[in-house]
């Protein structure tokens, strides 16, 4: 009986030792697996951070901006938002100060907020679309002039987002600016002596002709500003309409 009890005790001890050793082995394996998983996670985090930093800092040799292309686009979007917000609300504030009764309506009405948001969104997309297209094309095509023309065309198409009156106004401003840019792009061999002055004089004559003769072609927003600050009286407008316009019509009919 004593021998049987001793053998049973020995078997129990062996079983307990095996169970404890199995627990130790499983615990070590679990620790190693958790450590390996943590190492893998750390490696993935480091590699993803490195890759993200490379993407954010990536730029072409033709890029003149500081930092990476994506960083430049984000900064441009923030600056465009601030510029658009400040410009639109400054215009609304000036318009409201001219008519104090409508000041709050000009700044806080739903129509004013919606119009301001539309203008700000246009300014942001106009700016970042040019930067995105330009930096993308620089990675494919090395012709900087071609890239600038394509990027400018794409960004100009965002004018469709804005209202019709403001779209016409911006189109006129960009058209005159594009003519000046084309003149400067032709190079010194094609430039005319005092060309900028002559070009500005032609623009002034054209604008004065519109104000005096083709008043209906002038954008309403510009016409209001011109009427407010030109200090013209009703008699002046009547002279334009009934005398000068009649004389010009008679000359053109001949």
Range scoring the smallest mean pLDDT among 23-27, 45-49, 75-79, 96-100: 23-27
What is the model's pLDDT at position 4? Answer: 47
Domain positions in the chain are 50-56+66-162, 179-254
What is the model's pLDDT at position 33? Answer: 64
pTM of the predicted structure, to 2 decimals: 0.55
72, 60 contact by CB (below 8 A): no
The predicted-structure confidence for 155-191, as pLDDT tens digits, reads as follows 878 877 777 767 777 777 777 777 777 777 776 666 6
């Amino acid at each position: 009986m004593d021998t049987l009890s001793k053998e049973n005790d020995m078997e129990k001890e062996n079983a307990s030792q095996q169970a404890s050793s199995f627990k130790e082995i499983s615990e070590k394996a679990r620790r190693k697996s958790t450590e390996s998983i943590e190492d893998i996670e750390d490696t993935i985090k480091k590699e993803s951070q490195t890759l993200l930093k490379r993407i954010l800092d990536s730029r072409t040799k033709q890029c003149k901006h500081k930092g990476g292309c994506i960083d430049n686009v984000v900064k441009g979007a923030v600056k465009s938002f601030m510029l658009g917000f400040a410009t639109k609300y400054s215009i609304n504030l000036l318009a409201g100060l001219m008519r104090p009764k409508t000041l709050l309506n000009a700044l806080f009405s739903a129509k004013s907020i919606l119009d301001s948001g539309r203008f700000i969104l246009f300014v942001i997309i106009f700016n970042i679309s040019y930067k995105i297209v330009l930096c993308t094309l620089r990675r494919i095509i090395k012709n900087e002039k071609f890239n600038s023309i394509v990027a400018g065309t794409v960004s100009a198409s965002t004018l469709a987002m804005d209202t019709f009156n403001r779209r016409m106004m911006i189109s006129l401003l960009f058209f005159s600016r594009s003519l000046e840019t084309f003149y400067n792009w032709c190079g010194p061999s094609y430039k005319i002596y005092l060309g900028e002055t002559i070009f500005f004089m032609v623009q002034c004559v054209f604008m004065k002709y519109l104000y005096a003769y083709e008043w209906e072609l002038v954008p309403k927003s510009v016409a209001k500003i011109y009427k407010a600050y030109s200090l013209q009286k009703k008699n002046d407008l009547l002279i334009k309409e009934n005398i000068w316009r009649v004389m010009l019509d008679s000359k053109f009919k001949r």
